[in-house]
Every structure is written in structure tokens, then in C-alpha cells.
Structure 1
Amino acid sequence: MKNKPSPYAQTDFQEDESIHIFKSSIDRKRIKTDIKSRDKYPNFDGYIEVVDDDQCSIGKFELQVKTIKNSTGTFYCKPELINYSEITTLPILLILVKIDQKKTYWKHLIRENAILTEEEKSYKFIITDEDLIQENKNYIFDWITILNDYQQRILNYKSIESMIVFNEFTTPPINTNKEQIEFYQLFVDQLNNGIERTFPFLKKYKFTDVWKLGVAIQKYNNGTSFGIFAIPNGKTDLLIKEINTKKRINPFDNNHRFLQFFSSIEKESNYLSLSNRFLKNYLLDVIKNRAFFFKNLDLATECVFSFVQQYHFILGIKKSNKYDLRKIKHRLSFYFPIWISVALDTIEYPPHIPHIDISLFTLNRTEEINKKTRNIVKNRINYKLKDSLLFHSEDTNLFHVQQSLNLLINNNINEISSPFPAPNYTLIKKNKGFYPWELYTKSDIKKTIESFYSKIFYIINDFCIDNNFPAEFLIKIKNSYKFIVVAQINKNLNQPGGIEITLFHVETLQETNPCGDIIFLYDLDFIKKNYSYEWFESGFELGGNKYKLNSWQSSIDIGIFHRKPYYDFLYKYLESQASEFFKSERIF
């Protein structure tokens, strides 16, 4: 017939069927769906909301539902979808459905979970049975962990919400002179340019859902004070306003901690120093909260291994030098939340703490108490979970642990062990001490030093490049630049553990005998006894090569013996470099 109406798309049935299978595979009591079929939006199929057993909301996801072939173990998506995940204000779940098998898989749609193809035209997600939505409801806890991470970031930066609320107390400027307007224009431009161009990761980790920052002025007889407010995405507003004196606002109210008061702003003649002061604080805030996740196998191994070593009893796993990753992943999703719920009923948890700090469960727990808890967990598979609360620890980001597990498994790594030699605790009794010297042989200390410093500088550079840090944060360790790692290992030293490490960053002036980027020495006497530092800085010979000192630092706090040496060194470096970066005035 010539007058037939326009047909539906060939994929219309598949889309409806995939959504139906997904809905039938989830726990409808805990997961509330709002999914649109035949939608016209390219990156959006609807929402799902996770609720607790009392039907109170825990959090919401955006959804993207896709049909995949029965035989496939991968899914490819365009870069635009990944880019969209970084600007939307909610976390996104990618739902993948095999229609004939009636199986539904899920992935958290973020760049860190995907692999960029060689042609760089698409991203690949690897699908395993661990991603299957099953009746045991492991997926619910995984989703809650993602939501908790998102909410924890919001809690860490609650001032952003206050900055948006502050806009209610402002009005368009009335009596501000031209010079002041120009000053604040330059200040606001510098502030927003620094966030958007120089440190773009601040948009993701601190200023989520913020379009621009603005400044609100309040005049007094002896000067001017001001506050920073935030304009959310999707709203238009002036960037320079005045505080509305008709509305009462208490600057000492905890809900308005964002206000920055100066008794005489006229003395702040340099807009650069003022705006850079704010940017430095914003940057250090994100660094100190360790908000970043970085796709690096060494960091992922360290993250998972240190977590299991410390909390193995909460996972029902015996402490060991090696761990099976799939067992950890299963225990983290299933055993861990039940254990926490049972343990909370056996202790008086501090009521003033708004989240479940898992580090508190390491205190005063005997093996007898742990054994009793394990037995209860085994018999309470359907135990009511206290999952509406945030799981959090001062030194552990549970979301990062999950991401690290996924990264390792996606790279076909099934087992992890410590990257460094294990401590020998029998040496403590022999040496009657508690320093690293008493826990390791001299040979093991050397192995640890060389294993750590042969990687850490490259990890830092890759991290800074991946997160779009300014070039000044990169370490020069290519071409003519090298590191000389000098370690003194002597139990008679007046240092903790009898170990001191000095890092010399040098530039090669003449290389007769080619060597690697990192040189290890175990004696500082060749400098201390025979040469002055003036000579060392002007040029010195080592192994037939001539070098010039660029910088050096000495440390007796040996981070290689911390639980997370890579992470600790990385973030200490970032803090130090951030302070160094803002020593000079910069225009962004």
C-alpha cells in the first residue's frame, strides 16, 4: 500500500525487549525505574532510583540501555558518550542486555572503566560474569557504593551548595565605581579561567554542576568585604553583584563558610594574588581529599592489596601475601555489607559520625569476636543491610577499591601480591626493635628502594598528564635529566630505622657511559667527605659521566614502608608542587 504510515525503527522491538528484560532482572522493591523507550535523546534512556528496605531514597542514576549479541564479551561506545558522563550531574549506569539468553549486565559508565581503542575512535567495555545482574543482589551494594562515593564528594565540598544558596542574598550592583568593577572583573576572570583551563579537574572533583563563580560585594565605612557565590549549570546570572543588605546574613553561620571577608578590600590592589590564593586553596582541598582515581596497575594493586591486608576479617578472608581478585570482588559486594550490618549490632557506634567508618572496626576486635561475627554472617544471608548509610574510611575510598578491582580484572590479572618484600616479624624479637631495619634484611631494603623509585616518577608524570595538570607539575626525567637515589642503610644512624634517602635530580652535562634514568647508590660519603655542595651544584663526575645538580631533598620518613607508598608519595608531591606553583603570580 502506498499510504502506509512511517514504520518504527528495525531496532524498536529489541529496545523494548531489552528494557523489559532489565526490569524483570532487578529487585523492583529496591530499584525504582523511570525508563523511556523510543526516546529521542542520544545519551539518555531514563533514570533508576535505589531505595533502602524502608523505601527511602539512597540515590539516583541516569541510564543507558543497549542490546548486545549473545556471543560478545565486549561493548563499544563512541567517545561522545564518555564525554557526556563527565558533564552530567548524576552517575550513569550502562545496561547491556543479551535478549535470547535473557541476561542483563551492567557497567558504571566512566572513562576509567573503558579502554580506548588503538584507532581512538571508540571506547571498549569488557563484560564478564562479575557484571551480571543476578538474584543474589550483589549489584545493589555495588550501586550503593557508587552513589556513596558521589554523595561523599558532595559532603566533602558542602560549601559548594552553600555558594549556590548564597546567590539568594545578592542583588545587581548599584553604587560600585568603575575601578572596583574592573578589579572584580579581572578577579572573576582569573578565578574561572584557572578552574576551567589550568585545573579543569576541579570542575569534576569540586565544582560539580557549577557553571561559573561570581563575587558579591558589601561596602562598609572603612572598606569592602566580599563573598564568592556559584552559578549552577543551566542558569544565567551576573558574575558581579552586591550583598542584599535587606536580607539578614550571618557571616559566621556554618551554612555560609564560603564567605571570604576582608576588612579593607581596597588594599588588595593585585587581583592576581587574590584570585590565586583562592585557586591554591581549592587545589589543595581536592589533593588532600585524595579524590582522584587513576588507571595505573601499580596504584590499583597497591589500593586493593592494602585494603585487604587491613580489612581482611571484614571480607571473611585470611590474611596472606597473595589474594584472588575475583574472590575479593565477590566478598566486597556480598560478604562485606552483611558483616558490617552484623557488627553494628554488637557495638555502640558513635552517634555523631554520619557515616560508617570501617576503620573503627579494627579497634579492640579479638579473634574470638571476629569468629563470632563470621558465624552470624554465615547464617544470616538475608540479614537486613544498613546500606542507607555511607561507608567511608579516612584512609580508604571504597569506590576506588572497586574501580581498582575492575581495572585489574579487565587486564586479565587474577591474583595480586605485595610489590615489595614482606616484613619478617621474627627479626623484631632478634633485634628488639620496631623500626624498618628490624623488619627487613638489608638485601630486602635495597630491593624495596629500587622497586619503588624505579616506578614512582613515571607514575607521577602519567597521573598528571591523565588529569590535565599544568606542565609545571611534570617531573623532568627524560633526555638529559636523571635521578640519583642515594640510600644510607646503617642501624647506627641517628635516624628512625637507620635509613636515610636523598634524591638528587640532575642534568647530564656529559655522558661517556650511558646509563638509565635512575641511578641507585648506597653511600653518601663520596659527597659528604670529599666534596663541597658548591662543587656538587656546579658539576660532578659519577661513573665516568658529568652531571649538574638541579634540586635535591633528603628524607628520614621512609614512605616505602607505609601501607600505600605510591599513593602517599604521589599526594605529598602534588601538595608540595601546588604550593610551589603559586609562589609566582600567574595569569590564567
Structure 2
Amino acid sequence: MEPAGYPPKNTEEINAVNVLESLFDSSRVKSDIKVLDKVPNKDGSVELVDEKERPIGELIVQVKKIPDGSLKFDCPIELVAYSTRVSSPFLLICVDVGKNKAYWKHVTPVMAGVKPRQKTFIVKFQPIVDEVGKNFPYFDRWLDLCRDYQRRISEFPSLEKRLEEEFGLAGLRHDDRQLFQQYIEEVNVLLDVDFPIVKHEFFADTWKLGVNVHRVDSDVISFSIYNITLGKNAPLVLHTPAPSEAPILRTENGEILNGITSFHLEGTGRTNEIATQWNLRDSFEGPMGEARKFVLKYVRKMLEGKYLHVHGRHQSEELLSWFAREYQHCMGLSDGDTLSVSEVSYGLNVFLPAWYSLALPRVISYWQEHFPDALRSVRFPYFEQMANSGSAVAHPSEEEVRKVIRSGAIAKNYPIRTDEFSYNALHQALDFLVAEGVQKIERPDRPWSKVAGRVWNCYSVEDLKHNAIKMWQGASEDYPAFVKGNRFGRFESQILNREVAFVISADTREWEKDKNPPAVTTFCVENDDRSLTPTTFVDLALDKDICIPEEDVLNFNGVRRKLITRSNSFLPHLNERCRTRALLYDWLKKDLENRFGKF
């Protein structure tokens, strides 16, 4: 008779954790990783500390062993689901015991490669960029994750103190109680089903939103929205009577604005509420209408600021290609319209942070000496201001940066503050290309070929045509990944379903004229047989009879198709640096407006 042995994978698990902990810088990373535990989905946590060993961030981790030499892991979809239930960034760390290496990925519902209807998906790792150990950028990138997470939750701490008290609903009439139950239910359905990306970005660590009713009578409806964090026990509807007079709003000149019928204030600063809403009763659009207005405010922010996650090969290549051209000196890259994904990844994740840590104090010092007035209004320069040629005299040389990288010294980690682009979007674009196995980034557009007074005259007609076709084709191919990757639920799209197609026509001979921007006519036609691609460009200079519009029919290439809409416009997004991305947001906005009304 023998005692029971340990599970077969016990030794593998212990070895993997031992290798991982040997790779950590113990002066900056304090690990609490369990082995032989029975808790699913996670193995423990790591805490980041500063030079004085004070905590500055925490991450939850799941450790897995991978075969020797492997750079991928078949990840169960349950880990993605678990990432939505934890109150810290969640990392998957895979350990190559044989080669004494470890790689990591930040697990989120909107990460590249996730396919919700599959039980597993492939996570791919990049050497150096995703490695844990000395001279690798894991610590700085983990710290950035913690900072980003804290930023998203700091605006909306819980109302724990107030919610611990018992606020009954006895003071509310039955109809009003039902009204606010319907309101907050619709808010939460929209966030959980239709727009989980909004919840992910604006309400991190939130289980549900609740509503606190302050006043509801025949004249005024006033209430506030609060968040209920994961693991907290709190009601969805509260009643806290409070005086609720009409808000006094003033112009910049101090004049009082009269005739206010509704007022919405976010980040009130009172008891950590998310938002406060005041309405004249007659202006209240009912529980469903007001719930949509509340959620769609955040959707509109994401559309206007282009804050959605980057999914799609074309917009990923377009974004990274632009950034690499514009800021190649900050990434240690050479000139060229073709770059490898690995060199761009190294430039963004290793070279640029080291460059920035050297450049920031020098640029500030240079400004203090030469442009002191500028620092009075901008105390912490934007990346674009630092990286432009006006500050080049203070920039570190490429050799200086590479010397710091080779030394393994941890450079000062300054948060990168940007103005005209999203630093996170660059990482999302890289992650998408890596997940898709893309190895080369080709510049999609053609540059100016001459200097002229008007933008469109800086291009040849052929280059204008090339760029427009690339934009339409790229958006057509990316749109499904863009919508699915950002987890829009109950999404209805004739573009996505290919029930309609766009035929864009132009006589490019007219584009050579100087006075007006290039003009196009866009026909939206039925595509029941799915034989048309989502977008087709027709040059009437080559064949004027290929596209003939009639009253309600478009005769295209000899086939009559029902004409849904027809519009004349100038060539879209001519001045945009990322045209495909801009067109994707146009299409998404149009599809959302078809369901929810004009934004």
C-alpha cells in the first residue's frame, strides 16, 4: 500500500514558477505566486514597487508552462472571462523552463486574437518585447498597465459609505419606482450587451451602475448615477431626497443662461458619483430614451476621440507606418516604406521608452532656458512637442539610447503624454499584427509628389486614385474585425452583412483642375446576391458607360441594381494621416445612427 502521489503536472508547475521568480528584479517586483493551489484562473499576484520599495501597482497573474522554444500558447477563453471579474490588470505569463525564459500578455476581452465563440485562441509572444527578465521592458510596461487601470477607476470610486446605509424606496410612488428600475436596467443592458467596450474603458472594476433618485415630481426629475464595484453588495435603485433646484449656468461673460430644461454633469466631485442629471419633467424622454442618452454620451466620446481598440490589418499597418515615418528618430528606425513588425515592436517598446527617459528632462531644461513662457502654460510637454525638430538640439543620440539599453539600467519611467494620437492604439495595432502572424508593414499610401497651394494638387491624379482605393478596400476588409474586436452586441449593419454595396464613381480628368477638391459620387445599391465587394471605385475617364444611374436603379457593369441612396461629395479624408481608420469610424457611426438615431 502506497500513499497517493502528486499530480503529474505538479513538478512542471513548480519549475515554471521557480524560473519565473528567478527572472524578476526582486528589488522592484514582489511576487506572491502559489503552487499546488486549487483556485482556478489565477495563481497569485505581483506587486510593483519604486526605488524605496513602496507599492506602486499590482497585477494578477496566471502562470503556464509552454514547450521549450515555443512562442505561443493555446489560451482558454475562460481566462478572458475571468479578466472581466478582477479588480487589477490580469496577466498570462508563459514559462519556457528549458530555455529559462518567460513571456507575458495582458488578458482583456478586447485583446487581439480573441474569438468568443471558440473554447481557445492562440496567444503569440514576441522575443524581447514580451519577455520577462533583465534588460527587457516588462517592468515599465506593467507599470503603464497599472497607471492606465488606476486612471480608469480613479474617476469613479465606489459609494460604499453611503450604500452601507439603508436608503429605502418607500418615499417613491410605485410608478416612479418602476420608471427608475426600467431606466437603470436599460443602462446596464446597453453596457453589458451592446457596448461592453464602454464599460471596459470608462467603468473599470464595475459590476453594475445604480441610480440614486433625489427628486421626482410633476415639475422636476433629478437623480445621480453611481457605480457598484465587483464584489460589493449594493442596491441598483436608491432614494435620497435632496433639494434640486434648476442649475444656474453662466456664459464666459458671467451672464445667466435662461430656459434650461435639462442638465447633465459628469464627475460631480460629490460622494464620488459618476454623473448627476436634472430635468424638467416635460423634457424627460422616458426611462428608455434617457438611458440611451446616458450611454450614448460615452459612445460618442469614443467615436469623436477615436478611442476604440485597433482591430484590422489595414488600419494597424496604416497607423504604425505613419508613426514610424513621423517619429523614426525616437524609435531608432531607418528610412523606408517597408518595415518588419519585429523592428517596429522593438522601437516602440524598448527604444522609444529609453529615448523618452533621456529626452524629457533635457527638453524641459532646454525650454526653461530658451522658452520659459511656454512652460508656464504647458508644465509637462506633449510627446509631439518634445519629438519635433524644434527641440532636436536636446534630443539624445541613437548611440546614447542604445548604450542605456545595453547597460540594463532601468531608466526613469515617465508617463508618455500625447496630444494628436493614442499611445495605447499603437500597442493595440502591434498586438493585432502579431496575433495575425503579419511580419511586414508596408506603407499603404503614396506621399506628395510636389508642393502646391492646395493639398489635392500636391498629389498626382494616379496617386490620389491609389490612396482612395486603398482607403476603401482597407476599410472594407477591416470592418468585420473592427466591429467584432470592439464587442458591439446586437449590432445590425447592412455593410457588415453585405446587404448593400457602395459604388464610388468619378471622372479623374476633373481632378486635375485646380479650383475644387476631387469630387466623387457615391451610390449605395442593393447587394442581395453578395456579388459586389463592399466598395468599388469606378473611373469614368476610362469607361463612362460602366456606371449609369437612372431614377431608382443603377446600371452597373450591365447589371441593374436598386439604388438606395446617391450622394455627391469631395474625396473623403484627404487630409487625414490615417484614412482607413477615419472611414471605419464613419461607417460605424452610420450603422449606430441607423439604430439609435443621430449622434
Aligned to 1:455: 474
Q: How many angstroms apart in 2 are the aligned matches of 1:571 and 1:515?
A: 22
Equivalent residue for 2:49, pick from 48, 51, 56: 51
Task: Please say if 1:393 is aligned against 2:412.
Answer: no
User: 1:27 Cα shift?
Assistant: 1.0
Equivalent residue for 1:345, pick from 361, 367, 370: 361
CA contact (8 A) 1:500 1:558 kept: no
The letter for the 2-side match of 1:433 is G
User: 1:289 Cα shift?
Assistant: 4.1
SS in 1 for 2:513: coil
User: 1:61 Cα shift?
Assistant: 1.2
Residue 548 to residue 584, structure 1, CA distance change in 2 (3 Å): same
Q: How many angstroms apart in 2 are the aligned matches of 1:21 and 1:373?
A: 36
SS in 1 for 2:564: strand
RMSD: 3.7
Q: How many angstroms apart in 1 are the aligned matches of 2:16 and 2:527?
A: 62
CA contact (8 A) 1:485 1:502 kept: yes
Task: Give structure 2 stretches of 5+ with no counterpart.
Answer: 248-264, 368-374
Aligned to 2:288: 272
Residue 136 to residue 479, structure 1, CA distance change in 2 (3 Å): closer
* Mapping 1:105-184, distance limit 5 Å: 105-110=103-108, 115=113, 120-130=118-128, 131-154=130-153, 158=155, 160-161=156-157, 167=163, 171-184=167-180
Percent of aligned positions with the same letter in both sequences? Answer: 21
Equivalent residue for 1:520, pick from 515, 537, 545: 537
* Mapping 1:231-242, distance limit 5 Å: 231-242=228-239
* Mapping 1:42-441, distance limit 5 Å: 42-110=40-108, 115=113, 120-130=118-128, 131-154=130-153, 158=155, 160-161=156-157, 167=163, 171-219=167-215, 222-243=219-240, 245=242, 254-256=268-270, 258-265=274-281, 268=284, 270-348=286-364, 350=375, 357-365=382-390, 367-370=392-395, 372-374=396-398, 376-381=400-405, 385-387=411-413, 389-424=414-449, 427-428=450-451, 432-438=452-458, 440-441=459-460
TM-score, structure 2 as length reference: 0.82
The letter for the 2-side match of 1:359 is E
Q: How many angstroms apart in 1 are the aligned matches of 2:484 and 2:115?
A: 19
Q: How many angstroms apart in 2 are the aligned matches of 1:18 and 1:50?
A: 20
**27-36 vs 449-458, which deviates more?**
449-458
User: 1:167 Cα shift?
Assistant: 4.9
SS in 2 for 1:464: helix
CA contact (8 A) 2:553 2:562 kept: yes
Residue 58 to residue 553, structure 1, CA distance change in 2 (3 Å): farther
Aligned to 1:482: 501
Q: How many angstroms apart in 2 are the aligned matches of 1:212 and 1:445?
A: 49
The letter for the 2-side match of 1:63 is V
The letter for the 2-side match of 1:134 is G
Q: How many angstroms apart in 1 are the aligned matches of 2:86 and 2:267?
A: 31
Residue 482 to residue 577, structure 1, CA distance change in 2 (3 Å): closer
SS in 2 for 1:503: strand
User: 1:51 Cα shift?
Assistant: 2.8
Task: Give structure 1 stretches of 5+ with no counterpart.
Answer: none
User: 1:305 Cα shift?
Assistant: 1.2
User: 1:136 Cα shift?
Assistant: 0.9
Q: How many angstroms apart in 2 are the aligned matches of 1:230 and 1:147?
A: 20
TM-score, structure 1 as length reference: 0.83
